[in-house]
Amino acid sequence: MFYYLLFRLHEHFGAFRVFQYITFRAAMATLTALLVALLLGPGMIRRLQHFQIGQEIREEGPKSHQAKRGTPTMGGLLIIMAVVLPTLLWTDLTNIYMWTAVIATLLFGAIGFTDDYLKLIRKHNLGLRAGSKFALQVLVALGLGIFLYWLAEPEQGLFTTTLSFPFFKTFSPDLGWFYPGIVVLVLVGSANAVNLTDGLDGLAIGSLLVVWVAFTLITYAAGHAIVADYLAIPNVKGVGELTIFCGAVVGASLGFLWFNCHPAEIFMGDVGSMALGGALGTVAVLTKQEFLLVLAGGLFVVEALSVILQVGSFRLRGKRIFRMAPIHHHFELGGWSETKVVIRFWIIAIIFALLALATLKLR
């Protein structure tokens, strides 16, 4: 909105020319999102407390977590508002990639909202059935995949169904009509991996913050023809506007972390983890960095793998590998304090993000 209202004034006042620059608008979106989260956060916490929208804690978890019962949840609604509003204020509203990311965020957030709502009315830590939740995620992701396949048609020519791989400069297979399947794999995997990581105060949002900073840089590079050519990564014309969206997520994450750090005043709930996880997968797909997400979000991959290994081992061998899965609970039950687990996992997330950024030139 500001892009149209204020940039037009550059013909009369040269200073308004700054609104054409993605870097400036991304910085403004970041600050706006942070401000929105900080201003709306206290009121939302009070409102959730008033309606007794509190978190249910599973009995088999660490006993220290029982003290968190009743902490306001569904704070992901705050994150979504703090992402969508600044994005619409600072981005080019005609950009199709921006709308794709926003709609994917809202749809995955709606799945998470339904899950959280059912937990609240049932007064139990179980919401949507696993099969139903998975089916809804696949449906949304498949819809997005089909849409992107349509954009890749010669008549549109706005996208491609090729894949890029870290460390490989020229290996870019074209999947054609198989591409929607990759989109489903990336989005559903990303949403669930982030959801599994959301178990300790500040763990998921802090780790997401790190990955989103990395993808803000990646998105800008992918949308800039000269930078993309220098780094030998796919250049997607117009995807640079997603830098504003990524900046808004960074600002919203910072603002939410203010209230979610230990001891948390509010939890993001599935509405937050699903929305941000789905959005992250969407941005990775749109920037043609589907496989780089595996490295940049390595912490989330480890968390998801720990659950898969734990369940598989127990079903096949009747034995557990970890004290408890996801793996952050394993270390917590091993004697690490919650704060120590969170900060050390943040450090691991930073290492993965730096490795991902390093691969941009190692091709």
Domain of residue 316: give its range.
2-359
Residue 13 scores a pLDDT above 60? no
Which pLDDT belongs to residue 174? 87
- Could you give the CA distance from residue 34 to residue 29 in angstroms, rounded to a whole number? 8
Question: Token digits for 23?
Answer: 């870097």
pLDDT-derived band at 360 (thresholds 50, 70, 90) equals: confident
Reported as a pLDDT band with limits 50, 70 and 90, residue 65 is low
Measured N-to-C along each axis, helices 76-90 and 269-286 cross at an angle, to the nearest 10 degrees, of: 40
Domain count, the chain: 1
User: Is the bond leading into 326 cis (omega within 30 degrees of zero)?
Assistant: yes
Q: Are 269 and 44 in contact (CB under 8 A)?
A: no
Looking at residue 62, its pLDDT comes to: 61
Residue pair 184/141 in contact (Cβ under 8 Å)? The answer is yes
pLDDT for residue 34: 98
Token readout for 70 is: 């009743």
Stronger pLDDT, 101 or 125, i.e. the higher one: 101
Q: Give pLDDT, residue 68.
A: 66
Buried b (16+ CB within 10 A) or exposed e, 199-212: bbbbbbbbbbbbbb
Mean pLDDT of 12-28: 77
8 pLDDT more than 60: no
* Amino acid 155: pLDDT: 77
Average pLDDT, the chain: 89
Looking at the chain, the whole-number percentage of residues with pLDDT higher than 70 is: 89
For residue 127, name the pLDDT band (cuts at 50, 70, 90).
confident
pLDDT for the residue 153: 86
- Per-residue HEC secondary structure of 133-184 comes to HHHHHHHHHHHHHHHHHHHCCCCCCCCCCECCECCECCCCCECHHHHHHHHH
Entry pTM: 0.92
Task: Decide: residue 153, CB within 10 A, 0-12 exposed, 13-18 middle, 19+ buried.
Answer: exposed
Residue 187, pLDDT score:
98
pLDDT of residue 246: 98
